[in-house]
Amino acid sequence: MSSVTTTQAAILSKIAEKDNYLSDLPRHNVNPLWKTTGVVAPRPSPAASIALWKYEELRPLMMSAARLIDAEEAQRRVLIFTNPSMKPPYTTDTITCGLQLIKPGETAAPHRHYAFAIRFIIEGTAGFTSVDGERITMEAGDMVLTPSWTWHDHGLDGEDPMIWLDANDLPLYHKLPIHFAENYPEPLYPTKPIDNSDMFRFPWAKMKAQLDLQDGDYVVETYRKPDGTHVSSTLGAHALRLKAGKSSTPIRATCSFVFHSQAGSGKTVIEGANGEVKTLSWTVHDTFAVPAWSRITHVAEPNTDAYLFSLSDMPLLENLNMYRVE
């Protein structure tokens, strides 16, 4: 009987000693890994959730912003697509997207930053952006790049407001706190002659022609620089065509996506990494976010072909040897 009591006492003593040990660790700014669950997840576990933004709801809000936000703030006249599971600036875990509007006659002050940015023009004509002084025209459907740490500004010579999808890799700098930004000391950056080279501007007409030349119910084209590489080392862009009434091949990848409907209507069936399944119905100019490791199937409405523009962090993951697709 006494041996049992002695054993119990030893166990209780060890428990007390262990509790004291654990309670003392924070004082040394250390924590026990063995007490932390979920450090190594069995599958991707993105914080972002599936989300859809309807253009017919947001366009009036952009027009209100045009009245309320003056020219001095024009470079930030943006409504961020904020993922419902996260806070700004997250549209997905690695991508920030939003709608930006500029009014006729406005010119936003030049600035530069480490974040790489992409613009996809939704509506408007005779806009322009300048990248290190090279003026580039912007028309509906164009994709325009502002590479990391380049001076850039934008303006509008047209008679109606211009709205574009504005995207960047800013979430990366919330994990890697090494971002820099700088405003140009003068109101205008010295401008060179117009340069619509393939380095910064990718017209929709050219991309659509590439898609339409190919056979198949579902076609994907990657936006690439003249040297054949992705448009940046962190964000990539694609264009998709779905024939009327047809479906895409289901795909699941470690990258997250933002899709924007350039033309047509359809629905997308998404099975998230957690097994949740959602079906999103979209039409022209709607935008939706798909977290990493989601199974994605697009379906076009039966009346017309559908075209989607997409962004992803595929280049980043490829460069880190972390890209996986099935």
Residue 308 has pLDDT above 60, yes or no: yes
- 170 CB-near residues (< 8 Å, 6+ apart): 89, 96, 115, 179
Cα distances (angstroms) measured from residue 272 to each of 276, 297, 316, 318: 5, 12, 21, 21
Closest by Cα among 162, 165, 136 to 150: 136
Which phi-psi region, left, alpha or beta, contains residue 321 (left: φ > 0; alpha: ψ -120 to 50)? left
Would 11 be classed as within a structural domain?
no
Would 20 be classed as within a structural domain?
no
Residue 305 has pLDDT above 60, yes or no: yes
Closest by Cα among 116, 224, 230 to 179: 116
Confidence label for 1 from pLDDT (cuts 50, 70 and 90): very low
Q: What is the mean pLDDT of the chain?
A: 94
Contact 100, 124 (CB under 8 A): no
Would 151 be classed as within a structural domain?
yes
Maximum separation of any 2 CA atoms in the chain, in Å: 97
Percent of the chain with pLDDT over 70: 96
Would 126 be classed as within a structural domain?
yes
Would 23 be classed as within a structural domain?
no
Residue 195 has pLDDT above 70, yes or no: no
Assign residue 202 the CATH number of its domain: 2.60.120.10
Mean per-residue pLDDT, 167-176? 95
Tens digits of residue pLDDT in 249-281: 999 999 999 999 999 999 999 999 999 999 999
Confidence label for 38 from pLDDT (cuts 50, 70 and 90): low
Cα distances (angstroms) measured from residue 73 to each of 80, 96, 102: 15, 19, 10
Work out how many domains the chain is built from and give that number: 1
What tokens appear for 214 in the block?
Answer: 């190919």
Mean per-residue pLDDT, 133-153? 94
Would 277 be classed as within a structural domain?
yes
Task: Show the domain range for 77.
Answer: 51-320
Would 38 be classed as within a structural domain?
no
Would 57 be classed as within a structural domain?
yes
